[in-house]
């Protein structure tokens, strides 16, 4: 019994650290402005690399969740980690040659596929080991993903930028090297309980369509997607939005091409990314635990309602400190959605279909990963002075819709295998 307890906690810890490295993708806003300034690409063009990455993550996670029992979590996560690392290496070459296509291919498609393969397996594996306190256990694992932006924005990126003397492409090469070494090692510990992870799931693959087409699945998918959009508005552009706000408050005549001014603004953006990532990570753990006590859907309604209030306040906020605090609250709720979803999925469908349908629900992440960043990118490229205002109005309106949709969910409509 003690051996089993030790093993399941070892798997939970290594799964958490696997997610920590994968979650570095959330530091994209750290690179958004430097990339546009270095290459001359507009905000929408650069942001599509991140949007494609999240899109491929969700789509691939849906496939991986359905195949985990066939190939095993260890193999999927190790291959995924290697592909995510390869995405950074290709992106470094893309930046060196200012190739937007290669950036999309590397960071977006190949890196995103790697994320999808490696993301779903630690969550589903830990869920299988922890038969009690689902929200607590899976919340801890996805908490690691939320902390990834902190690791990138305050440790990996600054160190590698300093070593490479500010060279973006070399920095991406260094990050890719770290990923290709560490992620496969951590992923090698993943294993389903009482099995090598290989079993016949043919009947699950045949029957999964009826669950996806049903009202409960569609309801959860829409709610989760809207929660994603709200968080992605800031994950993709929190640093540029904060820097825009800081520029307005600087003295007239400030030279924004001055390296010291640029460094100061970038440091402020990196600090917000780091702090908000802590809230993103904690939200996954805290809200997952809360959902164990008050229920999954009531927790989702609180998340949506709280963010609706925040987006309303953001329309009027002009103070960088207040803006930063509100962003942290939004990401606390954003992370909460990821903390609640695994246990909600298991409650609805039972253990047998958990990985398949959890993966299918992550396609909402794909859609939200496109909509959220592109809302802000469009606003910044077309309404630079009002970009934040318009983005907050759109985001707040979607959250209201999400609250209304949540009341379409009925407890007695759940399915269990």
pLDDT in tens, 348-358: 888 788 888 98
Pair of tokens at residue 33: 């402005």
pLDDT value of residue 14: 95
| Per-residue pLDDT reduced to its tens digit, 20-52 | 999 999 999 999 999 999 999 999 999 999 999
- Tokens of residue 196, six digits: 């090598």
- 199 — pLDDT class (breaks 50, 70, 90): very low
Residue 220 in tokens = 């959860």
**Predicted local confidence at residue 400, as pLDDT:** 97
CB atoms within 10 A of CB 206: 9
**Is residue 144 predicted with pLDDT exceeding 80?**
yes
pLDDT for position 198: 42
- The answer to whether the beta carbons of residues 34 and 266 sit under 8 Å apart is yes
* Confidence grade of residue 203 (pLDDT, cut at 50, 70, 90): very low
Residues 6+ apart with CB under 8 A from 71: 197, 198
Residue among 25, 356, 290 at smallest CA distance from 139: 290
pLDDT, position 411:
56
Burial label, 150 (beta-carbon count in 10 A; 0-12, 13-18, 19+): buried
Poorest-confidence range of 2-6, 50-54, 169-173, 302-306? Answer: 2-6
Give dist(CA 16, CA 179) in Å, integer: 15
Residue 384 has a pLDDT of 85
Mean pLDDT of 255-277: 92
Both structure tokens of 217: 């699945």
Contacts of 316 (CB under 8 A, 6+ apart): none
Say whether pLDDT at 205 is over 70. Answer: no
Give the pLDDT band of residue 94 (cuts 50, 70, 90).
Answer: very high
Instruction: Read off the pLDDT band of 417 (50, 70, 90).
Output: very low
The three-state DSSP-derived secondary structure of 33-75 is: HHHHHHHCCCHHHHHHHHHHHHHHHHHHHHHHHHHHHHHCHHH
Average pLDDT, stretch 105-117? 97
In the chain the domains, ranked by start, together with CATH numbers, are: 2-413 (1.20.1250.20)
With CA atoms as reference, report the closest residue to 333 among 226, 221, 222: 226
* Closest-CA residue to 187 (of 282, 72, 284): 72
Q: What are phi and psi of 43, to 5 degrees?
A: -60, -40
Q: Which segment of 19-33, 148-162, 370-384, 397-411 scores lowest on mean pLDDT?
A: 397-411
Q: Which two tokens stand for residue 82?
A: 């290697």
pLDDT at position 207 = 67
This prediction's pTM: 0.86
Tokens of 4: 């089993």
Rounded Cα distance between 93 and 103, Å, is: 8
pLDDT digits (tens, 9 = 90+) for 160-188: 999 999 999 999 999 999 999 999 999 99
> What per-residue confidence (pLDDT) applies to 413?
52
Mean pLDDT value across the chain? 90
Q: Which of 34-38, 100-104, 142-146, 216-220 has the lowest average pLDDT?
A: 142-146
| Highest mean pLDDT: which range of 76-80, 247-251, 259-263, 384-388 | 76-80
Q: Could you tell me which residue, 325 or 409, shows the higher pLDDT?
A: 325
Quote the percentage of the chain above a pLDDT of 70: 93
- Across the range 390-413, mean pLDDT stands at 88
**Tens digit of each residue's pLDDT (9 = 90 or more) over 57-66:** 999 998 998 8
Which three-class secondary structure string do you get for the chain?
Answer: CHHHHHHHHHHHHHHHHHHHHHHHHHHHHHHHHHHHHHHCCCHHHHHHHHHHHHHHHHHHHHHHHHHHHHHCHHHHHHHHHHHHHHHHHHHHHHHHCCCHHHHHHHHHHHHHHHHHHHHHHHHHHHHHHCCCCHHHHHHHHHHHHHHHHHHHHHHHHHHHHHHCCCCHHHHHHHHHHHHHHHHHHHHCCCCCCCCCCCCCCHHHHHHHHHHHCCHHHHHHHHHHHHHHHHHHHHHCCHHHHHHHHHHHCCCCCCCCCCHHHHHHHHHHHHHHHHHHHHHHHHHHHHHHHHHHHHCHHHHHHHHHHHHHHHHHHHCCCCCHHHHHHHHHHHHHHHHHHHHHHHHHHHHHHCCCCHHHHHHHHCHHHHHHHHHHHHHHHHHHHHCHHHHHHHHHHHHHHHHHHHHHHHCCCCHHHCCCC
pLDDT category at 2 given cuts 50, 70, 90 is low
Most confident of 123-127, 349-353, 361-365, 412-416: 361-365
Residue with tokens 């930046």: 95
The pLDDT-based confidence of 149 (bands split at 50, 70, 90) is very high
Do 365 and 341 meet the contact criterion of CB atoms below 8 Å apart? no
């Amino acid at each position: 019994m003690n051996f089993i307890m030790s093993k399941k906690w070892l798997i939970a810890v290594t799964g958490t650290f696997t997610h920590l490295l994968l979650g570095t993708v959330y530091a994209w806003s750290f690179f958004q402005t430097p990339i546009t300034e270095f290459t001359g690409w507009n905000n929408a063009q650069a942001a599509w690399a991140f949007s494609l990455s999240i899109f491929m993550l969700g789509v691939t996670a849906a496939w991986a969740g359905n195949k985990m029992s066939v190939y095993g979590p260890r193999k999927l996560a190790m291959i995924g980690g290697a592909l995510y690392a390869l995405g950074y290496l290709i992106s470094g070459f893309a930046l060196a040659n200012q190739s937007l296509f290669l950036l999309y291919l590397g960071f977006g498609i190949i890196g995103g596929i790697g994320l999808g393969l490696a993301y779903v397996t630690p969550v589903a594996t830990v869920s299988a080991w922890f038969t009690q306190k689902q929200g607590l256990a899976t919340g801890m694992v996805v908490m690691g993903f939320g902390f990834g932006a902190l690791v990138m924005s305050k440790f990996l990126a600054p160190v590698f930028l300093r070593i490479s003397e500010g060279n973006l492409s070399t920095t991406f090469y260094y990050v890719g090297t770290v990923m290709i070494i560490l992620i496969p090692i951590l992923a090698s510990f993943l294993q389903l309980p009482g099995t090598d992870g290989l079993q016949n799931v043919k009947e699950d693959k045949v029957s999964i369509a009826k669950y996806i087409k049903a009202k409960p699945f569609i309801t959860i998918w829409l709610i989760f997607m809207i929660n994603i959009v709200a968080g992605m508005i800031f994950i993709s552009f929190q640093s540029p939005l904060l820097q825009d706000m800081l520029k307005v408050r600087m003295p007239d005549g400030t030279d924004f091409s001055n390296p010291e001014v640029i460094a100061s603004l970038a440091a402020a953006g990196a600090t917000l990314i780091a702090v908000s990532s802590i809230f993103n990570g904690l939200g996954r753990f805290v809200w997952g635990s809360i959902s164990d006590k008050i229920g999954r859907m009531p927790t989702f309604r609180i998340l949506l309602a709280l963010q609706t209030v925040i987006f309303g306040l953001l329309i009027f906020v002009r103070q960088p400190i207040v803006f930063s605090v509100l962003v942290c609250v939004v990401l606390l709720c954003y992370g909460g959605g990821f903390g609640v979803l695994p246990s909600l999925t298991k409650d609805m469908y039972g253990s047998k279909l958990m990985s398949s349908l959890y993966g299918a629900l992550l396609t909402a992440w794909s859609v939200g990963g496109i909509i959220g960043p592109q809302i802000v990118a469009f606003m910044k490229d077309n309404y630079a002075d009002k970009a934040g205002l318009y983005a907050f109005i759109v985001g707040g309106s979607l959250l209201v819709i999400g609250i209304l949709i949540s009341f379409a969910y009925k407890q007695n409509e759940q399915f269990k295998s």
